[in-house]
Chains A and B, each alone.
Chain A
Amino acid sequence: MSRLMFYIIVGFLLVVGIASSVHRHVQFEIPWLPGEQRQVWEIEAGITFNAQNGPVQVDMALPSHQAGYRVLTENTASSGYGLAYQADELGRTAQWTIRNAAGSQQLYYSVQMLVSQDARSPIQTPPTLTAATPWESPYDSAASQLIEQAWARSANNATFARELIRDLNGERQEESARLLLSQEAPAALVVRLLNQSGVLAREVSGLILEDGRRRQTLSSWIQVFAADGEQWSIFNPATGEQGKPDNLLLWETGGRAVLEVQGGTNSRVSFSMMTHDQPASAAVRNHYSDDTLLNFSIHSLPLEEQALFQTILLIPIGALMVVLLRVLVGLKTSGTFMPVLIALAFIQISLTTGLIGFLLIVAMGLIIRNYLSYLNLLLVARVSAVIITVIAIISIFTVLAYRMGLSAGLTITFFPMIILAWTIERMSILWEEEGPKQVLIQGGGSLVTAVLAYLAMNNPWVRHITFNFLGVQLILMALILLLGNYTGYRLLELRRFKPITDDEKLS
């Protein structure tokens, strides 16, 4: 009866697991194979201001699809605020509103941008040329002098802009340029001079993307339109370089303010960003994801949690490896699931560095632990001392590796230190009681298990499958349940019990 229940449960898990995986494959067109990886930027804008006990309205410009980048998803966090996205020909904005707010306020906007070579900018509406405010004397003559010089040296709008920027910066900077720069910021000055000469141009804001940067601000860039009003190019207001750098994300392209706050003071916006690779399929799917029950997937979580789950969902694979090696092979390990944790560290560190680091730390730890055993300490105190020793060893190795220019050595800190300390403690006792041979057998068994678990968990296909098909977890569960029911011989027992079978031949 209980056997029947067992097989029903296992069958149920298998059927549900396979069915849900197939459903995801068919319904969401998630491929069984990982395919190419695409780079995705996660950018978060944090707006802070002091509200003045009254209604508040915050308008912030938002980035759009553009050359090199495509908007995947965007989220906001703003408790109590009403939110509306607006779009016109000059770009998109988000508008937060609240009837009454006081004190320090924080609003968050985060966006995922997919790096995509075939993404194109939408058609840009050129700004209308407004009647330029005339310069006062003596600035008017300085301005016209600069314009005349640059005009003479240029052939079209773009080269004119380039010459103008160079005249205002660097070595070619003249008296007249310094005079004008005392009145306006470089970017704004260039735009004003361009407009004065009848060239369509505006100041736009962009974000330089660098992985892991926080508290960044937008920088000013100059967008100059060609005479036909359709072609345009981006200029760096400091160097006059033409063209958009690959890591520049244009945030606001309408020539408007990035952030406008009504009813608040001291407003500012800062950006933090990180990048990661994800399968192209997943990246594109994010774009179309809808929240139904069957679409229950890790991808509906915020990005940071997704990255965490990517690792967590691999642990069952490591556990399966441990079960396989212990139940079917009969390998001895020091601590049942310690190898899985070591394998997780290997994923962060890379295999060779990880193995060398592990052996160094455990060997050093064993030597020091050997000394500690003479001090006649209580167990908990001794293990704590070993933990501190492990931390010291890791610190020393990290500093040494850094001094020697081995950047790989820096990642050694990913080892789970408490686990290492217990491993050292257990191996040390094993050494005292059973001798170095057992230490080698169990230590070797642990390392073999860890390496195999690492190879399984680091396999791109396994990562793709576990991350994209949650049903696979149920299949793993069913497999482990079945293995837990295996009463046959272990591989190593075929060797262990060999002498018994020899006798039969003799007699």
Chain B
Amino acid sequence: MSWLKNWTWPTRLRDKGIIGMNRRNIRYIGRYNRRRLYPLVDDKLKTKLLAQQYGITTPELIGTVTTQFGVKHISEMLAGHGGFVIKPAKGSGGKGILVIEHVDEDGFIKPSGMRQSITDIERHVSNILSGLYSLGGSPDVALIETLINFDESLMDYTYEGVPDIRVIVFKGYPVMAMMRLSTAASDGKANLHQGAVGVGLNIATGAALRAVQFDMPCFSHPDTGHDLASLVVPQWDTLLHLAAGCYEMTGLGYLGTDMVLDREHGPMLLELNARPGLAIQMTNGEGLRRRLDLIEQQPDNVPTIERVAFAQHHFARQSELVESKDTSSANA
């Protein structure tokens, strides 16, 4: 019965408070996310403009391409920018995001070192416009943003790509957080199913709790070899307040916020997700159920500061990485 080893019982998952896809869809997304609010987060351009309105920092916009005619002028738009990111406004799951780390005379260089010509870039933008990466294949807009200079303290924990921080915000309370570190396997993208390392974060401090790659626990970054136990996200309180503020900004009750840490600008909102995935439970080694149940009992209209404080108080946890490794680096 060796093949049964990879399976577990529904009761065990329920005891752990794990939320399945069906429950997430019906019980949380269906109940707390009103359909008409989706465009606010499904369109990154709208999210960005809204965020500026609410004083939430986002990466600087170099420009947008809205017509196939505009594709021809993209080289003029890119002139003078060392690194940039091209993304579809309505893309999902990180699809269609092209990161160019720096530019030289010969062309554009991706974080992996792969060289792209201007034709490649134009083709990519053209694909975005015709809706290749958008939900339902509808015509789309391409956003060009400046490359994020991510915080140096995090440099050792990532390979080629920008590590981003996913915070699940439920009714305005940050309930669970993780950091996604890109690896060689994930081609510089911070997508867990492509092989990025997911690090569960303590809501109270922003310190690493536990790390997984391909759903299996790991203790160091597979490419840099850096110990993950020492990982603590700087400016954690600011980041949580920013994430929690997205509830007022969008009105969506069950929200996935993707944040990055910029060297100069601090925490920035990268994008929002109205259907955040469940992998965060794997990285935290804990189900969402108990935390969500607790938040559901809380009254509405609580100010952001109080919500963040409540979450930091109730959802604090001990690091599993530290327990299994040395205890001295807990506050590094």
Contacts and interface: CB of A to CB of B under 8 A. Distances in A.
Secondary structure type dominating chain A contacts = helix
Interface string A486-507: 1111100111111111011000
A433 interface: yes
Interface in A326-347: 327, 330
A489 B26 contact: no
A442 to B, nearest CB: 12
A309 to B, nearest CB: 30
Contacts of B282: 496-497, 499-500
B23 A498 contact: no
Interface in B288-325: 320
Interface stretch (B211-219, B222-230, B247-255, B257-265): B211-219
A486 B22 CA distance: 7
B13 A376 contact: no
A293 interface: no
6 contacts: A379-B130, A379-B131, A487-B20, A487-B22, A497-B18, A498-B6
B6 A489 contact: no
A253 to B, nearest CB: 64
Interface residues on A, range: 20 to 34
Contacts of A434: 193-194
A378 B287 contact: no
Interface in B85-141: 95, 119, 122-123, 126-127, 130-132, 137
A507 to B, nearest CB: 8
B281 interface: yes
A487 B292 CA distance: 15
Contact of A499 (B26, B119, B127, B212): B212
B266 interface: no
Ranked 3 nearest A-B pairs via Cβ: A379-B130, A487-B23, A489-B20
Of the candidates A327, A493, A496, the one having the most CB atoms from chain B within 10 angstroms of its own CB is: A496
Nearest to B94: A433
B1 to A, nearest CB: 14
B137 A500 contact: no
B9 A496 contact: no
B21 A330 contact: yes
Nearest to B216: A499
Nearest to B28: A487
B16 A501 contact: yes
A485 interface: yes
Contacts of B127: 379
Contact of B13 (A378, A380, A497): A497
Interface of B: 6-10, 12-13, 16, 18, 20-23, 26-27, 68, 95, 119, 122-123, 126-127, 130-132, 137, 193-194, 212, 215-217, 281-282, 285-287, 320
A378 B130 contact: yes
A497 B123 CA distance: 39
A112 B168 CA distance: 66
A378 B68 contact: yes
Contact of B22 (A379, A429, A488, A501): A488
Nearest to A496: B215
Contacts of B18: 489, 493, 497, 500
A489 B13 contact: yes
B130 A488 contact: no
Given A379-B131, A503-B285, A497 B8 contact: yes
Given A495-B6, A498-B7, A485 B13 contact: no
A495 B21 contact: no
B20 A495 contact: no
Contacts of A496: 215, 282
B256 to A, nearest CB: 18
Interface in A450-506: 485-490, 493-501, 503-504
A433 B27 CA distance: 31
A379 B137 contact: yes
Contacts of A497: 8, 13, 16, 18, 281-282
A500 B130 contact: no
B6 A493 contact: no
A462 to B, nearest CB: 26
Contacts of B10: 488-489, 494
A500 B7 contact: no
B169 to A, nearest CB: 21
Nearest to B194: A434
Contacts of B217: 499, 503
B27 A376 contact: no
Contacts of A488: 10, 20, 22-23
A434 B281 CA distance: 22
B27 A487 contact: yes
A499 B16 contact: no
A327 B20 CA distance: 10
Contacts of B119: 376
A376 B123 contact: yes
Contacts of A485: 26
A500 B282 CA distance: 6
Nearest to A383: B137
B37 to A, nearest CB: 20
Interface in A342-386: 376, 378-380
Contacts of B123: 376
Contacts of A380: 130
